[in-house]
A and B are shown apart, each in its own frame.
Chain A
Amino acid sequence: MEPILRLENVSKAFGGLKVTDGVSFSVMPAEISAIIGPNGAGKTTLFNQITGALRPDSGRIVFQGQDITGLDTQEIVALGMGRAFQITSIFPEETVLNNVRVACLSREGLTRQPLKGVGSFKSSTEKAMSVLESLGLAGQAARPAFELAHGDQKLLDIGVALALNPKMLLLDEPTAGMSPDERALTRELVVKLWREFNLTMIFIEHDMDTVFGIAQKVRVLQQGRLLAEGTPDEIRANPQVVTAYLGEEL
């Protein structure tokens, strides 16, 4: 089977600092995998390059057989790449429904409609509501997004990405800032979404229960370099990873 995403020797430096240093790996379709690594390892920067928010200095990124290196974010998103953010990124003054609905409208190519009210596009509204149902946010659809609790805002962020029907979804620390109970719930939700929406999913996470609980594959990033890659059991047994990163946690 062809990988859905392939990175070949991707590198990026800010000034003199190498933030991504010759990273190569392949992701198979329908896989759910994690990227871990200490703060500042370059995890978010890697997502930025995969989604076209930053251009790699060198290397190639291939998504579904197509070279997407250097494409604009809009183009990469149109190919089926979705992303939720480490620092929640939503439209705070819009209602929860509109946050998701604008994504549905965008996917259906309706965002240039100048004369009909947003509400008259029934299929977009229905799709948006069903996404909110999956996330358990349907009850808050009419509230402005800034009023939501932190955790719910994070979910909404994911919802905006899901509404675009992506083939691949990148989640940047979905459980950050949550209590252990919330974490467990989010963990279940992520797996549920992965199945329900037939996604290939990569998530960045610091919480090891989440990482080793749900990832089929784990990649370890350190100082911009891919330190190790393997199943959770392989990673746990990898002496390099244990000394470099997991030491005190396992």
Chain B
Amino acid sequence: MDISFLIVQFISGLTMATLLFLVASGLTLIFGVGGVFNFAHGSFYMLGAYLAYTFVAGTHLNFWVAVLAAAVGAGILGMLAESLFLRRIYGRAEEEGFQILLTYSFILIIDDLVKLVWGTEYKSLSRPAGFGGSLIWGDITLPTYNLAIIGVGLLVVVGAWLVLSRTRPGRIARATALDRETMGMLGVNVPLTMTVVFGIATALGGLTGALAAPLRSVTPGAGIEVIIDALIVVVLGGMGNFWGAWLAALLLGEVNAVAVATVPEWASLFSYLVMVVTLIFKPEGLFAPRQVRKV
């Protein structure tokens, strides 16, 4: 195995890691801030992919504009789902279980709505102009679109971090995560904050789906596969832990790249393998601080 092969594999793993992180970050954002477990997060990923497909193939938008529009679209649908349905069960006894059940019903409904609107055939989206080729450098061939994804991922991470730590809305969101009641008494519009954060989270999901569409074909039922990958990231990284999620995504992305290169037909099992090993040796998550102790 030579060094150029390793570099190619590494970049391929990094691409996968970026996508994993992007989709998982939406999931942990809404869990961390809103305390909502959105089981249907993968379905918003799928909606993002389909919307991008429609904007490019149907309305001939520029690819990058279409990706942005798809993210916004997924965000709006997310805000609708939150304000029409999810909101009704906040504060109910055993809310956690009902959240899972309700968002599970979203998965089922969105799956079939997608079939109704877009049909059951595979859809594919070609790479944007200027990103169809590869950077070739000796033996090393790096697809430029993959590099673009990694770039966008970095931008989103840095941007999200800046918004959360440096702006007023970001600080409100973080404070709401810690204590909803007090923030409500301080005059923060908590329901609105929840809706907006939910929208941002689902927009992140939709953005990821749109970005990934040229790499993976777009199919109904993609939601559940994506959510399981994202959930593994979150379990490994620690729920609500941004940097933990990033490291976990990197680990899974790279493991996956190696697996695809060596045992392709079993590659899909490797994420699970990492999870099982982690659970056995470090059940609180790879990067979580040691638990204080249950009360």
Contacts and interface: CB of A to CB of B under 8 A. Distances in A.
* Chain A residues touching B, range: under 10
B224 to A, nearest CB: 34
Interface in B250-295: 292-295
B27 to A, nearest CB: 27
Describe A's contact surface by its main secondary structure.
loop
Describe B's contact surface by its main secondary structure.
loop
A156 B195 CA distance: 40
A55 interface: yes
Contacts of A53: 293-295
* Chain B residues touching A, range: under 10
A55 B294 CA distance: 10
A48 B294 CA distance: 11
A23 interface: no
A54 interface: yes
A114 to B, nearest CB: 25
Interface string A46-58: 0010000111000
A122 B279 CA distance: 44
Interface in A78-127: none
A54 B293 CA distance: 7
A66 B292 CA distance: 24
Contacts of B293: 53-55
A172 to B, nearest CB: 13
A85 to B, nearest CB: 11
Interface in A36-87: 48, 53-55
Contacts of B295: 48, 53-54
A53 to B, nearest CB: 5
A120 to B, nearest CB: 30
A53 B295 CA distance: 5
A80 B292 CA distance: 25
Contacts of A55: 293
Contacts of B294: 53
Nearest to A54: B293
Contacts of A54: 292-293, 295
B159 to A, nearest CB: 29
A55 B293 CA distance: 8
A75 B294 CA distance: 15
A122 to B, nearest CB: 33
A48 B293 CA distance: 11
Interface string B118-155: 00000000000000000000000000000000000000
A191 B76 CA distance: 62
Interface string B173-213: 00000000000000000000000000000000000000000
Nearest to A48: B295
A53 B293 CA distance: 8
A48 B292 CA distance: 13
A145 to B, nearest CB: 14
Contacts of B292: 54
Nearest to A53: B295
A185 B169 CA distance: 51
A236 to B, nearest CB: 35
B178 to A, nearest CB: 14
Nearest to A93: B93
Nearest to B293: A55
A54 B295 CA distance: 6
Contacts of A48: 295
A85 B282 CA distance: 33
Interface string A3-47: 000000000000000000000000000000000000000000000
B169 to A, nearest CB: 26
A69 to B, nearest CB: 13
A55 B292 CA distance: 9
A147 to B, nearest CB: 15
Nearest to A55: B293
A173 to B, nearest CB: 17
A87 to B, nearest CB: 11
A20 B292 CA distance: 16
A92 to B, nearest CB: 9
A55 B295 CA distance: 10
A15 B293 CA distance: 14
A35 to B, nearest CB: 19
A48 B295 CA distance: 8
Interface of B: 292-295
Given A53-B293, A53-B294, A54-B292, 5 more contacts: A48-B295, A53-B295, A54-B293, A54-B295, A55-B293
5 contacts: A48-B295, A53-B294, A54-B292, A54-B295, A55-B293
Question: Shortest 3 CB-CB distances between A and B: which pairs?
Answer: A53-B295, A55-B293, A54-B293
Interface of A: 48, 53-55
